[in-house]
């Protein structure tokens, strides 16, 4: 899989950009503030419908514009597909496949698969559980795009149920009588049904990712303690949390029954606190180095190694399905020591397409052959006038 062409309009700093890309390696070279990361951020957005830098879409629209457009031509096993996204201020985003509108933007998921490694990935090890849940869910959706609908449905149910818990809790404390408790039973069923599907795919993913993660970390840091991952959930019994356990066909049914039971048991506390205390939104991906959790115990170098191993493990997992995802490396080589740079370069050199951003050519390992693409901007601070020009040298 590779991106053959990329076009932007009013995306981040780019008023307009058009460029052709090829299989193999491409390095976007330019000093900070010239829009290199914005280019690969746009490609990553088409893959996940999200940015690796910000949680909302509003910062992606160029200052003063009402909408941004991203378009790409994606080649997979000889077949070309054009995918376009329109990000709108205040209204719903819109998407097209081969210039034809689709009902929901998430219908484009699966056309382009990417694995993106960036300095922000250190938060996978040191950050909050939400960062690791996002990693799991985006990777699971890359494997099975229809899971995006399940995630959207779960988030909708979670919001509705949380609002109902707040109302029911207030009424109970004031002595008022309402119909909220009966309605909660309905929302419990919805939450358990969607949550069970999401949990089943997360557990399957942890099981499948485990050996790729362990091997990648061993390659990067052979002198370190072994790296392992597991799924942490206060809602599930221990037998479901063993990463060595093979997923079963009836897991979703069993998980739904468990969630319903846990929701019933937790309802008094939920009404008291006004929050939903049961479900996959409370879970975490456990990262271990030897017998110690990586968060809080790993050194800076070990944390970088773990973050890198998670991304390389994800790349190998997606590749094992038969198609190479596009590997995107956003200004990471300058952050890594020689061994980690070499390990990353080895994997990158084997990818069908790898896109790299770097401030200077020296940041890119010499063993990684990549065509340079000079990224420059002209104009005032608002970067209205922008251009991309190919360069025949890396100087």
What's the rounded Cα separation, in Å, for the pair 325 and 192? 33
What's the rounded Cα separation, in Å, for the pair 216 and 349? 15
CB 38 within 8 A of CB 7: no
Is residue 125's pLDDT more than 80? yes
What's the rounded Cα separation, in Å, for the pair 48 and 28? 21
What's the rounded Cα separation, in Å, for the pair 324 and 352? 6
User: 37 a known binding residue?
Assistant: yes
What's the rounded Cα separation, in Å, for the pair 96 and 106? 11
**What pLDDT shows up at residue 387?**
40
Among residues 51, 213, 194, which one has the least CA distance to residue 125?
213
Q: Which of 16-25, 294-303, 385-394 has the lowest mean pLDDT?
A: 385-394
Burial class (CB in 10 A: 0-12, 13-18, 19+), 147: buried
User: 30 a known binding residue?
Assistant: yes
Tell me the per-residue pLDDT of 288-337, one tens digit each, with 9 for 90 and over: 999 999 998 999 989 999 999 999 999 999 999 999 999 999 988 887 88
User: 73 a known binding residue?
Assistant: no
For CA atoms 380, 382, 387, 388, give the dihedral sign: positive
Tell me the per-residue pLDDT of 355-377, one tens digit each, with 9 for 90 and over: 999 888 888 887 776 666 666 54
What's the rounded Cα separation, in Å, for the pair 69 and 158? 31
Tell me the per-residue pLDDT of 215-248, one tens digit each, with 9 for 90 and over: 999 988 888 899 999 999 989 999 898 878 888 8
In the Cβ-directed half-sphere of 192, how many Cα atoms lie within 13 Å?
A: 21
What's the rounded Cα separation, in Å, for the pair 362 and 343? 17
User: 35 a known binding residue?
Assistant: yes
Query: Scanning the structure block, which residue is given the tokens 């998921």?
Result: 109
User: 269 a known binding residue?
Assistant: no
Where does 231-293 have alpha helices with state H?
251-273
Give percent above pLDDT 90 in the chain. Answer: 68
What's the rounded Cα separation, in Å, for the pair 266 and 193? 17
In degrees rounded to 5, what are phi and psi of residue 326?
-75, 125
What's the rounded Cα separation, in Å, for the pair 323 and 110? 11
CB 344 within 8 A of CB 121: no
Interval 124-148 mean pLDDT: 96
Indicate the domain borders of the chain. 1-113+333-395
Q: Tokens for 150?
A: 């399940």
Right CATH for 1-113+333-395 from 3.40.50.300, 3.90.1150.110, 3.40.50.460, 3.90.79.10 = 3.40.50.300
User: 78 a known binding residue?
Assistant: no
What's the rounded Cα separation, in Å, for the pair 41 and 58? 14
What's the rounded Cα separation, in Å, for the pair 375 and 29? 6
């Amino acid at each position: 899989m590779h991106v053959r062409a990329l076009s932007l309009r009013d995306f981040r700093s780019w008023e307009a950009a058009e460029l052709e890309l090829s299989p193999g390696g491409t390095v976007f070279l330019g000093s900070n503030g010239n829009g290199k990361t914005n280019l690969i951020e746009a490609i990553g957005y088409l893959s996940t419908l999200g940015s690796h830098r910000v949680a909302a879409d509003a910062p992606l629209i160029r200052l003063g514009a009402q909408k941004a457009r991203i378009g790409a031509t994606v080649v997979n096993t000889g077949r070309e597909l054009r995918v376009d996204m329109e990000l709108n201020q205040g209204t719903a985003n819109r998407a097209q496949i081969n210039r034809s509108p689709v009902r929901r933007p998430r219908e484009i998921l699966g056309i382009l698969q990417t694995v993106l490694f960036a300095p922000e990935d250190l938060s996978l090890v040191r950050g909050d559980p939400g960062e690791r849940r996002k990693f799991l869910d985006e990777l699971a959706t890359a494997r099975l795009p229809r899971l995006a609908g399940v995630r959207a449905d779960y988030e909708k149910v979670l919001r509705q149920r949380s609002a109902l818990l707040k109302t029911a809790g207030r009424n109970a404390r004031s002595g008022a009588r309402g119909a909220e408790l009966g309605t909660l039973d309905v929302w419990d069923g919805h939450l358990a049904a969607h949550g069970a599907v999401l949990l089943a795919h997360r557990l399957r993913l942890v099981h499948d990712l485990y050996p790729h993660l362990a091997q990648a970390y061993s390659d990067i840091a052979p002198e370190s303690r072994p790296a392992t991952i597991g799924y942490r959930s206060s809602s599930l019994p221990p037998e479901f949390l063993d990463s060595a356990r093979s997923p079963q066909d009836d897991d979703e049914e069993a998980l739904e029954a468990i969630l319903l039971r846990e929701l019933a048991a937790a309802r008094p506390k939920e009404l008291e606190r006004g929050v939903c205390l049961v479900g996959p939104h409370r879970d975490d991906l456990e990262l271990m180095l030897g017998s110690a959790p990586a968060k809080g115990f790993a050194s800076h170098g070990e944390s970088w190694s773990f973050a890198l191993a998670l991304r390389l493990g994800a790349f190998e997992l997606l590749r094992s399905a038969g198609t190479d995802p596009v590997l995107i490396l956003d200004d990471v080589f300058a952050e890594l020591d020689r061994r980690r740079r070499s390990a990353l370069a080895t994997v990158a050199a084997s990818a069908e397409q790898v896109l790299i951003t770097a401030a200077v050519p020296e940041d890119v390992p010499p063993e990684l052959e990549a065509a340079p693409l000079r990224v420059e901007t002209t104009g005032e601070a608002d970067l209205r006038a922008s251009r991309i020009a190919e360069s025949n040298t890396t100087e």
